[in-house]
Structure 1
């Protein structure tokens, strides 16, 4: 090989060594496209973290429904409790009324003490207490309780039995005029109060008021559809005012024994003597 060729070979080797790094750098450079140089893509974002849910939580709507349901259940329970208490109170008061009707007024007072201790005194229990006190001749206390139940408004509409009780207290005291006034208020307030008419008719009879007595007793008799007590008062009226046919007819209808007839006749004669004594005093 000539010296010129050797020299060319050395120069080509050196160029090759110089170009090799350039070629390697070119391989690492992004390729160009027809539209221009391609830019490097940004790294993909990490996936967003999903929210965590509490599977035991309830929505506001569900909570409201649950609360409303609980309130409804509580209301039903409270209504059931009140209904039970009302039944117990009514049964206790009926028991007391039965005792009074059977002339066991002292036992009735004891039961009323128990009633008031358990539930507190109310208008029905106070009225029964006044009746029991009257039946046991505790007239002053009975009158105080009766008067405590008198009032206006709605209470006035319920005062018929109260005036009747006060009228009975006056009869027990022998105050016939006071009894008449109170019993008249009883029938004015409660126009269907049979016992008030019956007792008022008897008071009129004892006072010698013939027509008012008859009219009032007839009201009681027709309202009561032939009650034996009312008819007995009518028979007494017939004997006092000399309507013997009516008196005997009632005695036959009630099937009075001779003993009962004699007792009623004795009462009538006593009333007539009272009239005579009253007339002589005048």
Structure 2
């Protein structure tokens, strides 16, 4: 079951299917390496396996990917790239403490940007606006051209009522990817929250957003205007702590998840569009 909290993003980044969409669930039972061409050099098997696990996740086969993560680790051992795939799958299947622990272990290596992005998405789910903003800002700092990270940061700031701070990352995402549906939809939500209907309509027109997309943008803007959008109800916080950022001090404990709004899946999924890979810099 997909559990998204940033409706126009991701996620986190923030996703719809990419690549080939014809793989059946039954195929996930096979050893991906056994499907490789016979002439493929053995040293390439590890990379092939990782690529096929990534493809499973793009097709939303999160539980199957977890099984293959275990199989990969038994055959080839552990690696930062494998732990990132596992963390993403744990997050998408609602196993947040385990995902948070893995992401935290990756914040100083080659997967650091993706790890901070994952921590930010978890913080959003937990209703911790401060930690979410810091983690997503760190991801953007490490990969300033990643439009998914920029969009997630901007929308997290919109959720927190930080309209002025949200403008820059949302505008960057829209200008870096002018044909990207979610980037334009995010910017339209921002415009509506600023009561700038004319700008929102211009975005709708220039991006050729379908009517269903426009209605969803208006619905989200109305939802985010309501005080309930920032309401918090008591609950148990995750056991794993997100490390503080150098540029700011994080809250001592994550805040409780919000009861409202229950945000929709990615806008790209709602629009039936196919995004690019979430964790790679454009």
- What band does the TM-score fall into relative to the shorter chain? 0.5 to 0.7
Unaligned runs of 5+ in 2: 1-39, 232-282
Counterparts of 2:140 and 2:146, CA distance in 1: 6
* Residue in 2 that maps onto 1:150: 107
How many residues are matched?
A: 192
Q: Distance in 1 between matches of 2:184 and 2:211?
A: 17
Does the Cα contact within 8 Å between 1:208 and 1:275 map onto a contact in 2? no
Greater relative contact order (Cα < 8 A, sep 6+): 2
Question: Aligned-residue CA RMSD in angstroms?
Answer: 2.1
* Distance change >3 Å, CA 277–CA 91, structure 1 → 2: closer
SS at match of 1:174: coil
Aligned to 1:134: 91
Q: Residues of 1 paired with 2:189 and 2:205: CA distance?
A: 14
**Closer/same/farther in 2, CA of residues 172 and 246 from structure 1, 3 Å limit:** same
Do residues 260 (structure 1) and 213 (structure 2) align?
Answer: yes
Normalised by the size of structure 1, how large is the TM-score? 0.63
Change (3 A) 1:276 1:174: closer
**Structure with the larger helix share:** 1
Moved over 4 A (4+): 275-278
The alignment's TM-score, normalised by the length of structure 2, stands at 0.63
- Give me the whole-angstrom Cα distance separating, in 2, the residues matched to 1:254 and 1:125: 37
User: Are residue 201 (structure 1) and residue 158 (structure 2) matched?
Assistant: no
What does the per-residue CA deviation read over 1:40-72, in whole Å, with 9 as the maximum and x for residues that have no partner?
xxxxxxxxxxxxxxxxxxxxxxxxxxxxxxxxx
Decide whether the 8 Å contact of 2:80 with 2:111 is kept in 1: no
Shift of residue 277, structure 1, vs aligned partner: 7.8
- The aligned counterpart of 1:124 is 81
Tell me how far apart the structure 2 counterparts of residues 89 and 224 of structure 1 sit (CA, whole Å).
Answer: 32
1:247 maps to which of 172, 183, 200? 200
Cα distance in 2 for partners of 1:270, 1:254 equals 23
Matches within 5 A, 1:82-97: 84-97=41-54
> Per-residue CA shift, 1:122-170, capped at 9, x if unaligned?
111111100111111111100011112233xxx2x64111111111111
